A and B are shown apart, each in its own frame.
Chain A
Amino acid sequence: MKKNIMMSVLLVFLLSLAGLLFYARIDKTVPSISVKTEETGSQELSEETLTPTPSYSKEIVEIEDDLKMIEADIYKVKEDSRLNPPSFIFTLGLDQ
């Protein structure tokens, strides 16, 4: 009896695991076990309620983003010493 219960628990676990893997591979969206919460609709704020914030031109924002990415690339340039070849001995040393 005890053996049967253990086997059933194991089977259920394996089936749920297989299900999760199936979703992860096919759908890339693993079903969530978290409680669903109502999404609060993004309320549009009126012009008056907004505090005046500086608005930059689209070009400025684009250039700034580009420069951020370039900066990240610059910091990635590092010497990869792993490519330096290892040294070996190429003689039995019997000539001396």
Chain B
Amino acid sequence: MKKAVFFFLILSFFVFSPKRAYAQNKSNEFYNELLSDYREYQGLLEPFSSAKSRYLAYQSVSAQSEFLEVSKRLIKAEIEAMRSYASFVKTYLAEATKILNYDENYIYVKLDDELQYLDLARVKADSVTTLSEAEALLKELESHHQRISLLGYQTKALTEIGSVKKIFDNLKIDRGKIDSFLSSSDAAQNKVPASREKLSSLDLESDKVSTLIREAETSYKSFAFRNAAPKSKEIWDTVTKSVVAMKSLLKGYRDIIFNFK
């Protein structure tokens, strides 16, 4: 009887488990993994500092070997967190690509290369036997971290630009629809001239959006290792400005439509 109840409980768990009921986004799963890996890395910083202080103070063999062990643990945790971040960016890009319909395969391929390197780095970290080897591996990891960070910032900028471009394309389609409505006989003719005037003034706002999107795209082209973070901020600021301009376009189009209700 006990076995039957146990079987029933197990079955119920699988049937009603929330993971099955609500399929999560893959990128969210990787992000949670990143959070947990990064927390683990942060937890190792304090023991690393203490071991380093002891090694610097005593310069003894035991202090050195302790410092080496703690450093190796820290390096391994660093590799895992970098791996989770790269996987998160990769899946995020894949999901955004599905939504926004644009191809940015080179980021995808480069992230794959970095993930391959990190697999190799895991093995390297295991075989570290001296502090100078650990230092050399850290230097190597630094250059890969720069590359992965750049890909992350590029993915961020790319999805932001892609989103506003898609919205702007839709707004342009609706501008066309309003234009043809104003030319049709359905439109109350006495309201058409004022609406046309409004539409022309909104076209100036539309030009502003075009310019801002172009500006963001140009900024994107000049992404480099050294300027990745400020460049990402610059692009986000431009994207925000374009969103503000699109809101006023939307308001204007609604105003025209309201006139004919």
Which A positions have Cβ atoms within 8 angstroms of B?
A: 3, 6-7, 10, 13-14, 17, 21, 54, 56-57, 59-60, 62-64, 66-67, 69-71, 73-74, 76-77, 79-80, 82-86, 88-94
Bound together, the chains give a CA A74 to CA B244 distance in angstroms of 9
Interchain CA distance A29-B139 in the complex, whole Å = 58
Instruction: Please tell me if the beta carbons of B243 and A88 are within 8 angstroms of each other in the complex.
Output: no
CA distance A96 to B229 in the complex (A): 28
By a CB distance below 8 angstroms, the chain A residues around B125 are none
Complex alpha-carbon distance, A21 and B85, angstroms = 37
- Residue B178, interface by CB 8 Å: yes
The residue among A54, A79, A82 with the most chain B CB atoms within 10 A of its own CB is A82
Say which residue of B152, B178, B239, B253 sits within 8 Å of A85 (CB atoms): B152
Q: Is the interface of B mostly helix, strand, loop or mixed?
A: helix
Tell me which residues across on chain A come within 8 A of B196, comparing CB atoms: none
> Is the pair A63, B257 in contact by a Cβ cutoff of 8 Å?
yes
Residues in chain B near residue A10, CB distance under 8 A: 4-5, 8
State the main secondary structure of chain A at its contact with B: helix
How many residue pairs link A and B with beta carbons under 8 A? The number is 127
Q: B215 an interface residue at 8 Å Cβ cutoff? A: no
Among B115-123, B140-148, B200-208, B216-224, the one that faces the other chain is B140-148
Whether the pair A83, B153 counts as a contact (CB closer than 8 A) is yes
Contact B135 A94 (CB under 8 A): yes
B52 touches A93 (CB 8 A): yes
**How long is the Cα–Cα vector from A67 to B257 in the complex, in angstroms?**
10
B82 within 8 A of A: yes
A57 to chain B, nearest CB (A): 4
- 23 A–B contacts from the bound complex (CB under 8 Å): A7-B4, A13-B8, A21-B15, A59-B184, A60-B181, A60-B261, A63-B178, A63-B181, A63-B253, A64-B254, A66-B173, A67-B257, A71-B250, A74-B167, A77-B167, A77-B243, A83-B156, A84-B229, A89-B45, A90-B141, A91-B138, A92-B52, A92-B134
For the complex formed, measure the closest distance between the CB of A17 and the CB atoms of chain B, giving whole angstroms.
Answer: 7
Chain A residue nearest to B142 (CB atoms) is: A90
Task: Decide: A83 near B92, CB < 8 A? Known: A64-B257, A66-B174.
Answer: yes
- Contact B239–A77 (Cβ < 8 Å): yes
Contacts of A6 in B (CB 8 A): 1, 4
- Of A7, A59, A76, A91, which is within 8 A of B1 by CB? A7
Asked whether B71 is an interface residue with its Cβ less than 8 Å from the other chain, the reply is: yes
Would B186 and A59 count as touching, CB distance under 8 A? Answer: yes
Q: A60-B181, A60-B261 are in contact. Are A70 and B250 (CB under 8 A)?
A: yes
B248-261 vs A, CB cutoff 8 Å, 1 = contact: the mask equals 00100110010011
A88/B164 contact (C-beta < 8 A), A54-B261, A60-B257, A83-B156 known: no
Question: Contact at A86–B135, with CB atoms within 8 Å?
Answer: no
Other-chain residue from B5, B71, B184, B236 in contact with A79 (beta carbon distance below 8 A) = B236
B89 interfacial contact with A, CB 8 Å = yes
Question: Considering only CB atoms, which chain B residue lies closest to A20 in the complex?
Answer: B15
Question: Given the complex of chains A and B, what is the CA–CA distance between A74 and B74 in angstroms?
Answer: 42
- Binary contact track B76-102/A, C-beta < 8 Å → 1, others 0: 001001100100110010000000000
Q: In the complex, what residues of A have CB within 8 A of residue B15's CB? A: 17, 21
Q: With both chains docked as a complex, state the minimum distance between the C-beta of B130 and any C-beta of chain A, in angstroms.
A: 11
